[in-house]
Structure 1
């Protein structure tokens, strides 16, 4: 007996590959895509604002720690780097 070829499976595979080639962007509406992009932009802006706020808070805390250091701690940290009069 001769073996049968599985040609129908190859044809369905080609159709699946064509369907896989379509991206999610191609499949959704333009207004939905615009809403998603706007949401992404707002989230990115919010994340940047949080990062800037965190950096500002860290700088403020660093200044407060230095402000509250004793003379001995400042001398240990900076040593003889100051200018002499």
Structure 2
């Protein structure tokens, strides 16, 4: 049994090595690969735009909360840190 296992193990790495040499770019046509790259870049741009919108929304909400705070709440939050003018 041990001999069979050793023989099976020695044949497996050769097939893996030939598979490792082939990349996705090699297996796909040039037009499909180009479309995939374009899709990736558009999705990345969309995600970045969403993150920027989310940050802007959070900043706006924070300003709105501060705007609606009473003088006492503002004094508690900022205390002596506020400007003197």
- Give the TM interval when normalised to the shorter protein: 0.7 to 0.9
Structure with the bigger percentage of helix = 2
Q: Cα 1:84–1:47, aligned 2, differ >3 Å: closer, same or farther?
A: closer
In the alignment, which residue of structure 1 is the partner of 2:32? Answer: 32
Moved segments of 4+, more than 6 Å: none
In the alignment, which residue of structure 2 is the partner of 1:44? Answer: 44
CA shift at 1:39, angstroms? 0.3
In the alignment, which residue of structure 1 is the partner of 2:55? Answer: 55
Q: Cα 1:28–1:75, aligned 2, differ >3 Å: closer, same or farther?
A: same
| Count of equivalent residues | 80
Q: Report 1:58-69 matches (<5 A).
A: 58-69=58-69
Q: Which runs of 5+ in 1 are unaligned?
A: none
Larger Rg belongs to: 1
Q: Which runs of 5+ in 2 are unaligned?
A: none
User: Any idea what the Cα deviations from partners look like across 1:26-67, whole Å, max 9, x if unmatched?
Assistant: 110000000000000000000000000000000000000000
Distance 2:71 2:12 in 1: 80
TM-score, normalization by structure 2: 0.78
